[in-house]
Amino acid sequence: MNYFSLNKKAPNTTFKNAVIKGLAPDKGLYFPEKIEPLPKSFFDTIGALSNTEIAYETIKQFVSPDIPESVLKTIIEDTLCFDFPVIPINETISTLELFHGPTMAFKDVGARFMARCLGYFNTGKTEQVTVLVATSGDTGGAVANGFLDVKGVNVVILYPSGKVSDIQEKQLTTLGQNITALEVDGAFDDCQDMVKRAFLDEELTSVMQLTSANSINVARWLPQLFYFMFAYKSLHKTHRTIVFSIPSGNFGNICAGMMAQQLGLPIKHFIAANNANNVVTEYLKTNSYNPKPSVQTISNAMDVGNPSNFIRIQEIYNHNFDILKNNLSSYSFTDNETKMAIKELYDTYNYISDPHGAVGYLGCKAFLKSHPDTYCVFLETAHPTKFLDVVESVISETIDLPPQIKAVIDKEKVATKISNYGALKDFLLTSVH
């Protein structure tokens, strides 16, 4: 499979090169040249397949021939070493729990898959690769854990000071070894802008190999389509129209779901559940796309004012607004509505949700008002203990800490503070290179 830049001003390239480079030379995101749908028989018999088998069949066309079959199967087995249960909430709503991995966030799958791909590509090489990544919360911890001690790879994580939860911060600042955290005086958008700027800085790229582990990287983004396949495996016997409500920030997760749809997954519609950062919600109302500075909310991983992956979504639907709108609805919810949803889920259904999952739940409820015959699945993208202050104050209960959180909660934070791109560049040239 070859990949092209969505800016259409760079040469097409291989999966391997797209992973190593992260971003195309013309600043565009990479996208596969073609998407070959899977046979209907795959979906008819999906209930008999293991998660590993499902993942292999859905991802192999996107990585071939750069990763051999045997290596790809090993990478997938190493990546998918935890469960993805579908939990019923009521007669019309379920949740797909994506937080059973090592950092208790949905991004564990993409980070682990990408780390193993990059490790394979780097086998036997002496050149170091620097993974430069911006995080609004969970990406940092997942990338740090996924790439920890991968030979030949250094990881530098930028995160906005005071805008991630305490546990999220501990997960990305306490590992040491080949992982470095930079605490940025600014918002997530500032972190993301710095990362993109670094990729295009020839003074840096001439002396070091940079790549990204944000969802702009195809190896971080594409494996997220597994979730939708796994959910369908659990629910296909319901014989009801299944709709997914995805808490959406940088729009990588929902975009991966749409890729699963392109592969033939019989899903008719997606819901982008937004917090106050509602650029896409407004776009679907007006057909006018207007990025704006991000707003801080209690669902911080979605605090993105200019979603990188939305251009991929537009590409999937051929930049046709009517086709896109037929496949996508979007709603925006306040912090207060989010808290009320956390309380409702706990009081009515005895389910403890994190703020992001609660926004996804609200997306289900909003959609079901006008589409009562559908079955809606919202993605629970992070374990509620990652947002203890918010969740415990809403449900008035103390939540037991799982082992993954206990392992980092008392460790000492180690981070370097920076305030602008110049400081990032100096750090990379002096401390990493």
- For 74, the 3-state DSSP assignment is helix
Residues with pLDDT less than 70, the chain: 433
CB 308 within 8 A of CB 168: no
C-beta atoms surrounding 410 within 10 Å: 8
Write out the E strands in 164-310.
Answer: 179-184, 209-211, 242-247, 269-274
Phi, psi of 102 (to 5 degrees): -65, -30
Pairing of strands 129-134, 416-418: unpaired
Q: Which long-range contacts (CB under 8 A, 24 or more apart) does 383-387 make?
A: 383/99, 383/104, 383/105, 383/354, 384/352, 384/353, 384/354, 384/357, 385/104, 385/167, 386/104, 386/105, 386/138, 386/165, 386/167, 386/168, 386/354, 387/165, 387/167, 387/298, 387/354, 387/355
Q: What is the pLDDT of residue 426?
A: 93
The per-residue pLDDT for 433 is: 61
Position 226 scores a pLDDT of: 98
Instruction: Using only the alpha carbons of the chain, give its radius of gyration.
Output: 20
Half-sphere exposure of 292 (CA within 13 A, CB side): 13
**Is 82-105+221-400 assigned to CATH 3.40.50.720?**
no
Q: Give the tens place of pLDDT for each residue, 114-134.
A: 999 988 998 777 778 899 998
Distance of alpha carbon 341 from the chain centroid: 23
- Which active-site residues does the annotation give? 107
Predicted local distance difference test score (pLDDT) of residue 211? 85
* DSSP class per residue in 327-388: HEEEEE--HHHHHHHHHHHHHHH-----HHHHHHHHHHHHHHHH-TTSEEEEEE-B-GGGGH
CB of 242 within 8 A of CB of 235?
yes
Amino acid letter, residue 179: I
Block residue for tokens 């195809």: 218
Helix, strand or coil for residue 166? helix
Q: C-alpha 294: how far from its chain's center?
A: 18
How wide is the angle at C-alpha 170 spanned by C-alphas 167 and 171, nearest 5°? Answer: 90
Report the sign of the C-alpha dihedral through residues 180, 185, 190, 193, in that order: negative
pTM: predicted TM-score of the whole model, two decimal places: 0.90
Position 79, amino acid: T
Q: Using CA atoms in the order 131, 263, 82, 243, what is the torsion angle rounded to 10 degrees?
A: 110
3-class secondary-structure state, position 408: helix
List pLDDT tens digits, range 227-280. Answer: 999 999 999 888 789 999 999 988 999 999 999 999 999 998 999 999 999 999
